[in-house]
Amino acid sequence: MPRKAGAGGTPQPAAGYVKSLDKALALLEQIGETEDGLALSDLAQRVGLPPSTAHRLLTTLERRRFVQFDNSQRRWCIGVQCFTVGSAFLPRRDLVRTALPFMRQLMEASGETVNLAVESNGEAVFLAHVESNEMMRASSRPGSRVPLHGSAVGKAIMSFMPEREVTRILHKQGLRRLTPNTIVSPTQLRLALGEVREKGYAFDNEEHAFGVRCVAAPVFDERGEAVAAISLLGPATRLNDERVPDLGARVRDMARSITAELGGHVLTVGTAMV
């Protein structure tokens, strides 16, 4: 939400800003980032509210079924209404519906978990996944977020963004180190993005989490813009150096199939990014 700077540069709420609604949505976001829910005290601390205020807001959300209280665990969890409202987003582009058959095919061919993600507010957000059948597998829960610079899906999308948009995101989000392998230099990141454009796929070499590797490729819309990315995610022991080129090619080809099904246009290497 846009904010105006007040005296001394302090951000001031924009016209129409409703503080209680903002805090209620912040509570909802915090609950949504966990699988098992959160206790009232944890929620209040994360959002910066007194427990009594947080409880009133949660009770209001509960009445609308956006959250529910688990009496056995004494935790607040996401309610069914979040799914109902969130599901309204998916048919708008038919992205998930179109991609899922290809994702299942890719999982069967590779044996690894396949994810679908989009960019939102300078981060990659996972929309759907098809889990590996292997006992030891990696997975990204739908709704979870990862930094663009520290993920294969993020780099796949970012590599076909205009340079001015890449610069804007770097200024806003920074290059936080997640593991010793995370790219934290703008120069190195831009070199990596150039490699993605040349190969057609991105590689996450344990840059987001120890022991996990990922390859991803962008999905394009009718204007040639990277609107999403699909990825293969798995343990580094299985996604070894010998398999990465083959898996990268598989992901790239499947992303192009999804692009074609959506009526999109693959942006070719050498296209100006300004």
User: What would the CATH number be for the domain defined by 89-261?
Assistant: 3.30.450.40
CATH fold of 17-84: Arc Repressor Mutant, subunit A (1.10.10)
Q: What are the pLDDT digits (tens) for 63-115? A: 999 999 999 889 999 998 888 887 666 555 578 889 999 999 999 999 999 99
**Range list for CATH 3.30.450.40 in the chain:** 89-261
Q: What are the pLDDT digits (tens) for 115-143? A: 999 998 888 998 898 988 777 666 677 77
Q: Which residues contact 273 (CB under 8 A, 6 or more apart)?
A: 160, 161, 162, 163
What sign does the dihedral 232-233-234-238 (CA atoms) show? Answer: positive
Global confidence as pTM: 0.67
What residue type is 150 in one-letter code?
A: G
**Range list for CATH 1.10.10.10 in the chain:** 17-84
